[in-house]
């Protein structure tokens, strides 16, 4: 009988057909997870890098309470104010 010869192959093919989609789905899932992770990482980097890149460290004005870049402040009596007006008043 010729069919007996093919039976192991048929079983192998059947198993492969059952497992390959599952493996592909798992691979796809892992790939998507990785992509999401890298996107999140990029977003975090951008968020953390923005203030340091553009404006330096942010400090709070003791007079009016607004946040401003440290290198743009006015110093009076050792304290840092957002503007000369605040430095004069504070
Ligand atoms: Zn101020």
- Going from the first residue of the chain to its last (90 residues), give the mean pLDDT of each consecutive group of 10, the final group possibly shorter: 81 92 93 95 81 69 93 91 92
Residue 63 belongs to domain spanning: 57-90
Residues 46-69: tens digit of each pLDDT = 887 665 555 578 899 999 999 999
User: Are 45 and 8 in a shared domain?
Assistant: yes
Same domain, 50 and 68: no
Ion ligand 1 neighbours, Cβ < 5 Å: 61, 63-64, 82, 86
Beta partners for residue 68, in sequence order: 59
Residues 6, 17: one domain?
yes
Give 63 Cα–ligand 1 centroid separation in angstroms.
5
Determine the length of the chain: 90
**How close is the Cα of 37 to the center of ligand 1, in Å?**
40
pTM for the predicted model, two decimal places: 0.39
Same domain, 38 and 21: yes
79 phi-psi bin (left φ>0, alpha ψ -120 to 50, beta other): beta
Element housing 58 (H / E): strand 58-60
Question: How many domains in the chain?
Answer: 2
């Amino acid at each position: 009988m010729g069919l007996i010869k093919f039976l192991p192959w048929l079983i192998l093919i059947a198993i492969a057909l059952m497992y390959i989609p599952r493996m592909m789905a798992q691979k796809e899932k892992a790939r998507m997870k990785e992509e999401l992770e890298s996107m999140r990482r990029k977003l975090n980097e951008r968020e953390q890098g923005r203030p340091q890149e553009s404006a330096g460290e942010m400090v709070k004005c003791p007079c009016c309470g607004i946040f401003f870049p440290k290198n743009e402040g006015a110093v009076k009596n050792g304290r840092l104010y957002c503007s000369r007006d605040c430095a004069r008043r504070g």
